[in-house]
Structure 1
Amino acid sequence: MAMLTVRNIPDEVHRALRVRAAQHGHSMEAEVREILESVVSPEGRVKLGSLLAAMGRQARLSDEEFAVFEQVRDKAPAHPVSFE
């Protein structure tokens, strides 16, 4: 795992982190990890699969149209395009 060093944290922020960590029963390091993770990985983000499923519901595809997506696609590599 990667490491991160943060310098020049104001004393008030350091105290607040220490108090918050104690309230949650964490070390300061664990508390900072949790804060950073929650900020960069919000739970409300839309995932690609969910977005595509919603688009399919809005399109109101018939069973025959939907079956096209379930077909096994040819796994052979594509041939390069020739412009000659």
Structure 2
Amino acid sequence: MASITIRNLDDQIKEQLRIAAAHNGHSMEEEARLILGRALATIDRAGGLGSRIRDRFRVCGGVELDLPERHEKASAVDFSE
């Protein structure tokens, strides 16, 4: 397992962490691990960039595009010229 050092942590945040840890019966270190784990778990569920862009602009409405039917299989672009 890896370890990190957090420098310049605000005294108030450290105190809140100490209180939360005591309230939950954990060490400050364990409480910090749990908080980081929960915070990062929500990022994974947010989806990829395209999904996040779609979600952000969903409230603006959408556009229906008439896409032509594809008759040939897509091929790679040739940049040799």
TM-score by length of 1: 0.50
Aligned AA for 1:15? E
Residue 46 to residue 11, structure 1, CA distance change in 2 (3 Å): closer
Aligned pairs (5 A) from 1:42-61: 42=42, 45=45
Query: What is aligned with 2:30?
Result: 30
* Distance in 1 separating the partners of 2:43 and 2:25: 23
Q: CA deviation at 1:42?
A: 2.5
Percent identity between the two aligned chains: 43
* Distance in 2 separating the partners of 1:41 and 1:2: 18
* Distance in 1 separating the partners of 2:46 and 2:3: 28
Extract unaligned runs of 5+ from structure 1. Answer: 48-84
Q: Which consecutive segments of 4 or more residues in structure 1 shift more than 4 A?
A: none
Query: Residues 26-62 of structure 1: CA distance to partner in whole angstroms, max 9, x if unpaired?
Result: 0000000000000111298279xxxxxxxxxxxxxxx
Residue 42 to residue 12, structure 1, CA distance change in 2 (3 Å): same
* Distance in 2 separating the partners of 1:46 and 1:36: 16
* Distance in 2 separating the partners of 1:32 and 1:21: 8
TM-score by length of 2: 0.52
Aligned AA for 1:9? L
